């Protein structure tokens, strides 16, 4: 059973460009979470999605960031008009959604560098 | 709001030394507590967890006990190995599906 897949693993963008980060959850998992890890910091929750629904986006910046988890295909975290401060590692996690405090399984992350 | 505080690193130890990484938390209700490990260039892996007071989580020689009276979940290992070098994150989940992480403690083990 493949784990959580994220691609690309490394992404370089110039200021003002768009970044698209993809996450394929583990097979059978219907819940996806995105976290951001700034240099020398812990992970910070961004958004929690189920198929076609955003459940909690309290950690998402109000502008330029969006996330989706369509019925078919991976979850996408989209950052428009990137700025240097967006440089970070973005981790996706998935869970089966069977109950409270389900274990979250993390992907390897996408390291975004904004030049 | 809920938060996790863990000792700052880096922590440098010799192989076979005893390890303690302190972690305390602030939470309403009764959170689940976790330790995650991040090896260089990789994502986070769950190391161990405890879901209620006095529970002890253990894995790969690491242990941590959920202490409600001191709101702590300190990570311990009796004899560390070079392969234990990594960043360790203490975390909690309050039941709302988001995990709150500490800032991480980088551990270096010298041969």
In the structure, what pLDDT confidence band is assigned to residue A100 with cuts at 50, 70 and 90? low
C-beta atoms surrounding A6 within 10 Å: 22
Task: For residue B46, give every residue at least 6 positions away whose Cβ sits within 8 Å of its Cβ, in sequence order, or none.
Answer: A103, A105, B34, B35, B36
Give A 49-108 residues with CB within 8 A of chain B.
Answer: 55-56, 58-59, 91, 93, 95, 100-108
Is B44 within 8 Å of B26 (Cβ atoms)? no
Condensed to tens digits (0 to 9), the pLDDT of residues B44-73 reads 899 999 999 999 999 999 999 999 999 999
**Could you tell me if A34 lies within 8 Å of chain B, comparing CB atoms?**
no
DSSP class of A74: -
Distance CA B32, CA B63 (A): 15
Which residues of chain B does A108 touch, with a Cβ-Cβ cutoff of 8 Å?
A: 41-43
Residue in A57, A89, A101 to test binding to B, most B beta-carbons within 10 Å: A101
Residue among B34, B38, B98, B101 nearest A108 (CA) = B38
Q: How many residues in chain A? A: 115
Q: What is Dmax (Cα atoms) for chain A?
A: 42
Distance CA A41, CA A88 (A): 10
B44 and A103 in contact by Cβ < 8 A?
no
Q: Count chain A–chain B contacts defined by CB atoms under 8 A.
A: 59
> β-pairing, A19-24 with B11-14?
unpaired
Q: How far is CA B107 from CA A41, B35, B100, in A?
A: 15, 14, 21
Residue B78 pLDDT:
96
Q: What are phi and psi of A86, to 5 degrees?
A: -85, -10
Which residues of chain B does A41 touch, with a Cβ-Cβ cutoff of 8 Å?
A: 103-104
A108 and B43 in contact by Cβ < 8 A?
yes
Neighbouring C-alpha atoms within 13 Å toward the C-beta of A9? 6
Nearest beta carbon to residue A45 from set B36, B41, B98:
B98
Condensed to tens digits (0 to 9), the pLDDT of residues A26-43 reads 998 999 999 999 887 889
DSSP chain B: --EEEE--S-EEEETT--EEE-EEEE-SS--EEEEEEE-TTS-EEEEEEE-STT-EEEETTEEEE-BTTTTB--EEESS--GGG-EEEEEEEE-SSS-EEE---EEEEEE-
A100 and B44 in contact by Cβ < 8 A?
no
Chain B, nearest residue to A100 by Cα: B95
Residue B32 pLDDT:
92
**Could you tell me if B97 lies within 8 Å of chain A, comparing CB atoms?**
yes
Residue B96 pLDDT:
72
% of chain B with per-residue pLDDT over 70: 100
Chain B, nearest residue to A103 by Cα: B46
B99 and A41 in contact by Cβ < 8 A?
no
């Amino acid at each position: 059973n493949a784990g959580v897949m994220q691609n690309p693993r490394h992404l370089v963008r110039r200021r003002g460009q768009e970044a698209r980060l993809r996450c394929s959850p583990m097979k059978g998992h219907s819940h996806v979470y995105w976290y951001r890890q700034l240099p020398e910091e812990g992970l910070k929750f961004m958004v929690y999605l189920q198929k076609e629904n955003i459940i909690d986006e309290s950690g998402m910046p109000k502008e330029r960031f969006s996330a989706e988890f369509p019925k078919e295909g991976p979850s996408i975290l989209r950052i428009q008009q990137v700025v240097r401060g967006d440089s970070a590692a973005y981790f996706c996690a998935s869970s089966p959604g069977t109950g409270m405090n389900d274990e979250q399984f993390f992907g390897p992350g996408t390291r975004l560098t904004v030049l | 709001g809920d938060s996790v505080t863990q000792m700052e690193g880096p922590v440098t130890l010799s192989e076979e030394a005893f390890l303690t990484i302190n972690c305390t938390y602030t939470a309403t209700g009764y959170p689940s507590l976790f330790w995650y490990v991040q090896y260089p260039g990789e994502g986070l892996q769950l190391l161990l967890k405890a879901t209620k007071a006095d529970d002890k989580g253990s894995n790969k020689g690491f242990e941590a006990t959920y202490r409600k009276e001191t709101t702590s979940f300190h990570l311990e290992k009796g004899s560390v190995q070079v392969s234990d070098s990594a960043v360790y994150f203490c975390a909690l989940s309050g039941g709302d599906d988001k995990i709150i992480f500490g800032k991480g403690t980088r551990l270096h083990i010298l041969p």
